[in-house]
Amino acid sequence: MADSLQELRTKINGFVTARDWDQFHSPKNLAMAMIVEAAELVEHFQWDTLEESHELTPEKREAVSHELADTFVYLLRIAEVLDIDLIEAANQKIVLNGQKYPVDKVKGSNKKYTEY
């Protein structure tokens, strides 16, 4: 995995260990923590139109960036405790997604793959 990402993982692991929080970081608990952060992101956009969700005030932009960061931190923790390489997993999934959604079938459409 890449340098700055590896550095971030190491920093997060140190943060957790210093607080003796590994004992709480089961995949089940971490999955709950991550969806809570994802929901805090959703909350910022829940009453927006699609257009409004692109236009953030500086305050909202900062708050949104914090929710993205928290989601990312828990995502990295889950990958860590399950020993999954996120970059590799994402690269593999994109290949599968490409098979599920071939360009010539889905171009410009928002249908779910089960509808094709």
33-68 CB burial, b ≥16 within 10 A, e <16: bbeebbebeeeeeeeeeeeeeeebeeeeeebbeebe
What are the phi and psi torsion angles at 42 (to 5°)? -55, -40
> Binders of a copy of itself: how many residues, by CB under 8 A?
77
Binding of a copy of itself by 77 (CB under 8 A): no
Question: Measured between alpha carbons, how far is 80 from 6 in angstroms, rounded to an integer?
Answer: 11
Residue of 10, 13, 23, 100 that binds a copy of itself (CB under 8 A): 23
Binding of a copy of itself by 11 (CB under 8 A): yes
Residue of 97, 100, 113, 116 that binds a copy of itself (CB under 8 A): 97
Binding of a copy of itself by 57 (CB under 8 A): no
Neighbours of 106 (CB within 10 A): 15
Binding of a copy of itself by 51 (CB under 8 A): yes
Residues 31-50 within binding reach of a copy of itself (CB under 8 A): 31-36, 38-50
